[in-house]
């Protein structure tokens, strides 16, 4: 398969990032763009200088073309239907995060991918950060021993988005799904995605619904803060916390406590939008005892120039060409979504809830 034909569904900011990555690849042709807003796809094609691409007002028309794969870059609420339509049309799919709005939708998407034999991969570009790979290598090497406790998450001091992000119907969740999904993936991927069993959680929206802190307070419907204790298979427990806004500089580092050593990670960046894992790794430290003497070792952080977003899109294309499995399989991210779903249910009920995942995961 020498040339890969791609369609892009959606023509917003994230679609432009996908398109620019594809345009750098000599073995990829962007054949079409679709957007439900009349004329927007055509405008997108012209603005980015995409040659010979067709414009559609319906993704169903785009899916009638002979395409190898599609990038789904639509609002969260449409990830489900658009991805399923694409899979049923015999197309491989790269869907932006979050996978879906509800756990039920995510399950249907994964089931459709399995039934059609078409790839469904999810846009978690931090996976391509070399530092993230180093973290997984350390955890999987066994030098921490049996990892029994993980703390992850992070918080922006004042970093609340607006628009579709704060609408419950369109986004499904707030900070938990928007930036929390990255923190969960950092921890769970390092552990090879153990299944979640139960979750006890609290969420709030003190800042989003306050006109002093958000200009769309009257429309704010999702959580801007959340904390959860998640039991994982294998006798592990995960302390998960995330915030769009808070009167604090940090919610602390991500840590892995093992029976032989501990691992601490700090996020990179400063300012009101820093402090979460979509911003990169600031430092990596190993803590352990050698002959009764406490030791702390700094692991070198790679100051890379790699474009992790480009790497994500490139990996999708390579997987199509090489006929290999999804680089970031939806089956894994389904567990990520199951935790977020459990957080919201537990918070609403005010008690611990069980997490049910499909038998095929």
Q: What is the mean pLDDT of the chain?
A: 94
Domain count, the chain: 2
Residues 211 and 89 in one domain: no
Q: Domain range holding 323?
A: 2-123+305-327
| Rounded mean pLDDT, 25-31 | 97
Residues 21 and 164 in one domain: no
What is the full DSSP assignment across 131-168?
A: HHHHHHHHHHHTTT-SEEEEEEEEE-SB----GGGG-H
349/359 Cα distance (integer angstroms): 26
What pLDDT, on a 0 to 100 scale, did the predictor assign at position 274? 76
DSSP 21: H
Enter the tokens of residue 186: 């950092």
Question: What is the band of 159 on the pLDDT scale with cuts at 50, 70, 90?
Answer: confident
- Give yes or no for residue 359 having a pLDDT over 80: no
What pLDDT, on a 0 to 100 scale, did the predictor assign at position 222? 96
Per-residue model confidence as pLDDT tens digits over 217-255: 999 999 999 999 999 999 999 999 999 999 998 898 999
| Cis previous bond, 12, omega within 30 | no
The strand pair at 147-155 and 69-72 is best described as unpaired
Enter the tokens of residue 187: 């921890």
What pLDDT, on a 0 to 100 scale, did the predictor assign at position 302? 87
Q: Between 89 and 278, whose confidence is greater?
A: 89
| CA dist list (Å): 279 to 78, 168, 177 | 26, 25, 16
Per-residue model confidence as pLDDT tens digits over 257-295: 999 999 999 988 777 777 777 768 899 999 998 777 888
64/331 Cα distance (integer angstroms): 27
Q: What CATH number should be reported for the domain holding residue 135?
A: 3.30.360.10
What is the full DSSP assignment across 256-286?
A: EEESS-EEEEEE---STT-SSGGG-EEEEEE
Residues 254 and 269 in one domain: yes
Whether residue 298 is contained in a domain is answered as: yes
Residues 12 and 146 in one domain: no
Whether residue 357 is contained in a domain is answered as: no
The two counts, helices (H) then strands (E), for the chain are 11, 15
Question: What is the band of 194 on the pLDDT scale with cuts at 50, 70, 90?
Answer: very high
| Rounded mean pLDDT, 46-51 | 96
Kindly give, in sequence order, each residue whose CB lies less than 8 Å from that of residue 228, ignoring residues fewer than 6 positions away. 199, 200, 201, 202, 238, 239, 240, 241, 339, 342, 343, 346
What pLDDT, on a 0 to 100 scale, did the predictor assign at position 170? 87
Helix (H, G, I), strand (E, B) or coil at 358: coil
Whether residue 361 is contained in a domain is answered as: no
Per-residue model confidence as pLDDT tens digits over 323-333: 999 999 999 99
Question: What is the band of 211 on the pLDDT scale with cuts at 50, 70, 90?
Answer: very high
Q: To the nearest whole percent, how much of the chain has pLDDT over 90?
A: 84
Whether residue 117 is contained in a domain is answered as: yes
What pLDDT, on a 0 to 100 scale, did the predictor assign at position 108? 97
Question: For residue 23, which of 84, 89, 83, 71 has the smallest C-alpha distance?
Answer: 71
Q: To the nearest whole percent, how much of the chain has pLDDT over 70?
A: 99
Spatial contact of 238 and 187, defined as CB atoms under 8 Å apart: yes
- Give yes or no for residue 65 having a pLDDT over 90: yes
What pLDDT, on a 0 to 100 scale, did the predictor assign at position 291? 75
Residues 71 and 214 in one domain: no
Question: What is the band of 1 on the pLDDT scale with cuts at 50, 70, 90?
Answer: low
What pLDDT, on a 0 to 100 scale, did the predictor assign at position 216? 96
Residues 174 and 188 in one domain: yes
Whether residue 360 is contained in a domain is answered as: no
């Amino acid at each position: 398969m020498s040339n890969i034909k791609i369609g892009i569904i959606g023509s917003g900011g994230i679609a432009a990032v996908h398109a620019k990555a594809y345009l750098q690849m000599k073995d990829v042709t962007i054949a079409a763009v679709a957007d439900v807003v009349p004329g927007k796809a055509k405008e997108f094609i012209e603005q980015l200088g995409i040659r010979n691409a067709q414009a559609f007002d319906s993704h169903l028309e785009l899916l009638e073309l002979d395409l190898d794969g599609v990038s789904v870059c639509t609002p969260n609420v449409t990830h489900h239907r658009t991805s399923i339509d694409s899979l049923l049309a015999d197309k491989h799919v790269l869907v932006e995060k979050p996978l879906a709005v509800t756990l039920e939708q995510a399950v249907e998407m994964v089931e459709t991918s399995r039934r059609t034999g078409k790839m469904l991969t999810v846009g978690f570009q931090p996976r391509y950060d070399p530092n993230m790979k180093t973290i997984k290598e350390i955890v999987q090497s066994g030098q921490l021993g049996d990892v029994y406790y993980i703390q992850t998450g992070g918080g922006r001091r004042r970093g609340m988005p607006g628009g579709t992000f704060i609408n419950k119907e369109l986004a499904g969740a707030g900070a938990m799904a928007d930036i929390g999904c990255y923190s969960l993936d950092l921890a769970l991927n390092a552990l090879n995605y153990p299944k979640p069993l139960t979750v006890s959680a609290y969420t709030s929206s003190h800042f989003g619904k306050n006109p002093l802190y958000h200009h769309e307070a009257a429309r704010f419907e999702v959580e801007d803060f959340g904390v959860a204790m998640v039991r994982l298979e294998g006798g592990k427990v995960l302390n998960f916390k995330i915030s769009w806004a808070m009167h604090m500089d940090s919610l602390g580092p991500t840590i892995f406590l093992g029976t032989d050593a501990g691992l601490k990670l700090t996020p990179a960046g400063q300012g009101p939008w820093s402090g979460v894992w979509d911003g990169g790794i600031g430092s990596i430290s190993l803590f352990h005892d050698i002959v009764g003497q406490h030791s702390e070792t700094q692991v070198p952080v790679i100051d890379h120039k790699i474009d992790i977003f480009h790497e994500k899109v490139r990996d999708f294309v390579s997987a199509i060409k090489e006929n290999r499995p999804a680089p970031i399989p939806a089956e894994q991210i389904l567990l990520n979504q199951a935790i977020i779903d459990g957080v919201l249910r537990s918070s609403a009920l005010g008690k611990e809830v069980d997490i049910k995942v499909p038998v095929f995961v």
